[in-house]
Structure 1
Amino acid sequence: MGRKKIYILAVLGFLLVLAGCDLKAGGAEQDGKGLKTINIGIQQSIGPLLLAKEKGWFEKEFKKEGIEVKWTEFQSGPPHFEAIASDRLDCGQVGNSPVIAAQSAGIPFKEIANTSNGLKGNAILVQKESGIKDLKDLKGRKIAVAKGSSGFNLLYRALSKAGLKPDDVKIIQLQPDEAQPAFETGAVDAWSIWEPFISLETIGKGARILTDGQLLNVYSPGFTVVRTKFAEQHPEQVIRFLKVYEKARLWEEKHQSEAVSLYAKVKKVDQKIIKQVIKNNKALNIPISDGIVKAQQKTADFQYSLDAIKKKINTNEVVDNSYIKKALKEVKKEGGDKN
């Protein structure tokens, strides 16, 4: 056999291997099979996602399909989307500002459920004895906030209401694990943050709420998000995720004292703090309403006016309520909380 024929056969063989790989990946992936691991992101939030994680309910449910659950903890929402962009994360829950930044950046994801309205779930904190009594008193002060987070949006909306520009204050970009000690030691004068840190600082450390979403009439809704390609390839697993979360939410609702005890043990904090967190940031698992979409659009337009995002976006384009509608219908049919 000549060298030319050998070369042709080798190339054909290589192409057939590639074709086989494509068929294996494409065919199996498209019909939702062949999934070995689901990657779930979690923050330090207190709620049904943490409850289900601690009780192993996701692992139990996905094991039925031979799927392993891998958890990754993040300090805030923006790192979720860095992981989604690099295909390292499939599902997670984040606040309102990170999804706007991610959409503006062209990261492929979908908002598939509304998990909170966020009116009292975000606040700007100051120390009890601080001379900062009004939003205008923030001028010239150091304020800690995680860039691109829901706290970031609340801070900028608060400054705007007070007639201040971002340059009128000293914004220190810190993730919660860095911001907390900075706030407690007085290295910063204020902290724009979310639950459970609001209750940890106000109830546990005596800090004071300068303002929050309710006082500003600023919605900071929370969302379940999913990587677009994952949702397209494994729609049944996306629904499965939402069903487990819904059953955990229903369990928390029906067994609140047990849930509070579990959260307090996991977080090593007083149950009084946990109760306040749950009160301030009630867990939801519902379709994303037109009202929430409008609130998101208002936030996106505001951030564009500040050049916080580089292009105008239509926030409705990333919303897909089909998964949550199917999940809730199935949970209801199955009788709700059976854990």
Structure 2
Amino acid sequence: MTRRLFHIFLLLVGAVALGCSRTSPDPLRTGMPPWLGFAPLYLGQELGHLPEAAVRSIEFESTSAQMRAFRNGLIDAATLTLDEVLQLVDQGLTPRIVAVADFSRGADAIVARPELRELGDLRGRRVAVEGTATGALMLLRALEKAGLRPEDVDTVPIEVQEGERFLADGRVDAVVTYEPIRTRLLAAGSRELMNSSELQDDITDVIVVRADQIEARAEQVDRMLDAWFRGLAFLNEHPDEAARIVQRRCKLDPARTLAGLQGVHFPDEGESRRLLSGERPALRARAEALARWMHRNGLLQRSVDLSSLLAPGPIERRFP
């Protein structure tokens, strides 16, 4: 083979390799914690709209574990509460919100032993709470409502899946939790002292992607959003069948799964786009107000710059 032919051969091999790399990128790794509000993504996966070659969903037992994975670069995308996203920004990371997943309107709660009847009864009690911003936010809001201070309760840090066991064996008197654990605790006889319907949408769940992956993985981000909204459409059109699918993940019977989902509001594509887009996006204003409150209460170390937090491009492509 002459040198010229050899060079042509190398160019052809390189072109083939480059073409393969463009058509077969590594899958986008996205986290999936055990929150009932992320049912649309789970449904999208179960219904075959989330091919693993494009998007690989990784299940976590708690939101804390998912946040650690995002911080450590083990996942590219995540489903998080808005306050948790603000904490990541505070820590120097660059999550970008590509869609609003849901608003918790009763699905997050403080659940206690049955002898505790109101929030004021938490004084001097042991309250289990996950080490995330959401847990702290929920507890602080409850204490404010009851006229209590943080030092009036004894907080016990846990991973959220430990709450049922800690409450059952008497190690704590109350637990800050969310669906589907909330429904399981209430079915076992615990009492709800407060839920997120009283928080004016403070607990907002969003889908985030690392800033450097938004354009680099544009097609995969689009596939993830497509799976989410297809799953949401299935949930709205076939709630009973959807509940039977989701129950395998949330460990509730279908009736209780449907009841738990009543505490969650899922924006459709149009609402999600409106929240992220425009000259003054509503979600940006919500995030700024929440960031100020979190900073005042020690949940953020500094005033965070949120000018680049929203990335409406992917959802604007879907819903122009």
Q: TM class by shorter-chain length?
A: 0.7 to 0.9
State the Cα deviation string for residues 72-92 of structure 1 (Å, max 9, x = none): 222333433332233221222
Task: Measure, in 1, the Cα distance between the counterparts of 2:119 and 2:166.
Answer: 20
Q: Which residue is equivalent to 1:148?
A: 132
Residue in 1 that maps onto 2:253: 270
Q: Helix, strand or coil: the match of 2:318? A: helix
What amino acid does structure 1 have at the position aligned with 2:109? A
Alpha-carbon distance in 2 for matches of 1:283, 1:199: 19
1:52 to 2:44 alignment: yes
**Structure 1 residue 223 displacement after superposition:** 0.4
| Cα separation, partners in 2 of 1:184 and 1:295, compared to 1, 3 Å | farther
**Alignment pair present for 1:198 and 2:189:** no
* 1:241 Cα deviation after fit: 1.1
Encode CA deviations 1:206-236: one digit per residue, 9 max, x unaligned.
2222111222435201001111111131122
Query: Any conservation in 1 of the 2:112–2:175 contact (CA below 8 Å)?
Result: yes
Q: Identity of aligned pairs, percent?
A: 21
State the match for 2:312 in structure 1. Answer: 321
**Bigger Cα displacement from structure 2, 116-125 vs 308-317:** 308-317
Deviation at 1:110, TM superposition (A): 0.4
SS at match of 1:102: helix
- 2:213 partner SS: helix
Q: Which residue of 2 aligns with 1:111?
A: 97
Match of 1:161 among 145, 160, 168: 145
Is structure 2 residue 247 aligned with structure 1 residue 261? no
Aligned residues: 295
Structure 2: gaps of 5 or more residues: 1-13
Report the Cα distance in structure 2 between the residues aligned to 1:104 and 1:265, rounded to whole angstroms. Answer: 36
Classify the secondary structure of the residue corresponding to 2:110. strand
* RMSD after superposition: 2.5
Work out whether 1:223 is the aligned partner of 2:206.
yes
Kept in 2: contact 1:199–1:277 (CA 8 A): yes
Deviation at 1:316, TM superposition (A): 5.0
Contact 1:158–1:216 (Cα < 8 Å) also in 2: no
Distance 1:210 1:177, change over 3 A: same
Contact 2:103 2:201 survives alignment (8 Å): no
1:296 paired residue among 287, 291, 295: 287
In structure 1, C-alpha distance between the alignment counterparts of 2:319 and 2:160, rounded to whole Å: 33
Could you list the runs of 4 or more consecutive aligned residues of structure 1 that deviate by over 4 angstroms after TM superposition? 31-34
The answer to whether the Cα contact below 8 Å between 2:64 and 2:159 also exists between their aligned partners in 1 is: no
C-alpha distance after superposition, 1:140-169 (max 9, x if no partner) = 111111112423211112212323222221
- In the alignment, the residues of structure 1 paired with residue 94 and residue 175 of structure 2 have an alpha-carbon distance, to the nearest angstrom, of 31
Distance verdict in 2 for CA 1:75–1:224, change over 3 Å: same
Aligned: 1:76 with 2:59: no
The residue type equivalent to 1:37 in the other structure is: P
Is the alpha carbon distance of 1:230 and 1:34 closer, same or farther for their aligned partners in structure 2, counting shifts above 3 Å?
farther
* Cα pair 2:54 2:220 within 8 Å, conserved: no
> Which residue is 2:8 aligned to?
none
Q: Deviations over 1:86-145 (max 9, x none)?
A: 322122211222111111111121011111111222111112x22x33222211111111
The letter of the residue matching 1:156 is: L
Which 5+ residue runs of structure 1 have no aligned equivalent?
Answer: 1-22, 330-339
The answer (yes or no) to whether the contact 1:77–1:149 under 8 Å persists in 2 is no
Q: Against the structure 1 CA distance between its residues 259 and 82, is the aligned structure 2 distance closer, same or farther, given a 3 Å change threshold?
A: same
Aligned residue for 2:303? 312
Counterpart contact for 2:35–2:180, Cα < 8 Å: yes
Aligned to 1:5: none
Among 26, 30, 42, the alignment partner of 2:32 is: 42
Q: What letter matches 1:148 in structure 2?
A: T
* Letter of the 2:56 counterpart: K
